[in-house]
């Protein structure tokens, strides 16, 4: 009890205003000492909470990575489907152009325009077949038109296949 004796001697020498101030400082100190651990525990996390939080975040990360992989696969498949569709469409166009070329050749042959290089100014028909040779003037203008159309079709096929 001796230490408290000295405290009471010291306090007896204080004025009433100083005693109230000392009492307030003492109450404030006791409050800070008793509340600080509660505040520290509320702000800080223990190892279990940290482990649980890390586990939750790792699980979420794996889920996001899985979604990312799924989306990347969908994008690759979409690109592949698009590329295949374009290639298929190009093949269809080339086939249509081939059909058009055949039709032009067939129609040119039916109309007497021979799709061949004109060597001279006159085409000779019937030579070598035992029939008398008949000389017909070449249809150069029609041949040129057919040739130009065929060249354009070939150019279109090349452009489609690029």
Q: What is the pLDDT of residue 140?
A: 47
Please provide the average confidence, as pLDDT, over all residues in the chain: 79
pTM > 0.85: yes or no: no
The pLDDT of residue 136 is 53
Rounded CA-CA distance 149/104 in Å is 9
The one-digit pLDDT tens for each residue of the chain (162 residues) are 566 677 778 778 888 899 899 889 999 999 999 999 999 888 887 888 889 999 999 999 999 999 999 999 999 999 999 999 988 988 888 888 888 888 888 877 776 655 444 433 334 444 445 554 555 555 445 566 777 788 888 888 888 876
Note whether 137 and 120 are within 8 A (CB): no
How far apart are alpha carbons 95 and 157 in whole angstroms? 9
What is the per-residue pLDDT for 100? 86
What's the CA gap between 91 and 3, in Å, rounded? 105
Query: Quick count: other Cβ atoms within 10 Å of Cβ 123?
Result: 20
Q: What are phi and psi of 123, to 5 degrees?
A: -100, 135
Q: What is the pLDDT of residue 116?
A: 45
pLDDT value, residue 131? 53
**Phi/psi at 135 (nearest 5 deg)?**
-100, 120
Q: Rounded CA gap, 36 and 28, in Å?
A: 12
pLDDT more than 70, % of the chain: 76
Give one DSSP letter per residue of the chain, joined into a string.
-HHHHHHHHHHHTS-HHHHHHHHHHHHHHHHHHHHHHHHHHHHS--HHHHHHHHHHHHHHHHHHHHHHHHHHHHHHHHHHHHHHHHHHHHHHHHHHHHHHHHHHHHHHHHTT---S---SSSEEESTTTTSPPEEE---HHHHHHHHHHHHHHHHHHHHHH-
């007896």: which residue's tokens?
A: 12
């Amino acid at each position: 009890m001796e230490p408290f004796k000295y405290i009471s001697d010291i306090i007896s020498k204080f004025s009433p205003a100083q005693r109230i101030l000392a009492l307030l400082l003492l109450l404030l100190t006791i409050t800070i000492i008793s509340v600080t651990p509660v505040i520290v525990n509320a702000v800080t996390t223990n190892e279990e909470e940290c482990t649980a939080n890390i586990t939750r975040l790792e699980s979420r990360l794996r889920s996001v990575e899985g979604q990312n992989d799924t989306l990347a696969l969908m994008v690759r498949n979409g690109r592949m489907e698009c590329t295949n569709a374009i290639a298929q469409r190009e093949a269809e166009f080339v086939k249509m152009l081939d059909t058009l070329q055949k039709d032009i050749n067939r129609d040119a042959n039916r109309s007497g325009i021979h799709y061949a290089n004109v060597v001279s100014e006159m085409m000779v028909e019937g030579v070598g077949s035992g029939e008398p040779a008949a000389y017909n003037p070449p249809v150069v203008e029609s041949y040129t038109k057919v040739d130009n159309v065929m060249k354009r079709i070939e150019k279109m096929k090349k452009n489609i296949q690029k």
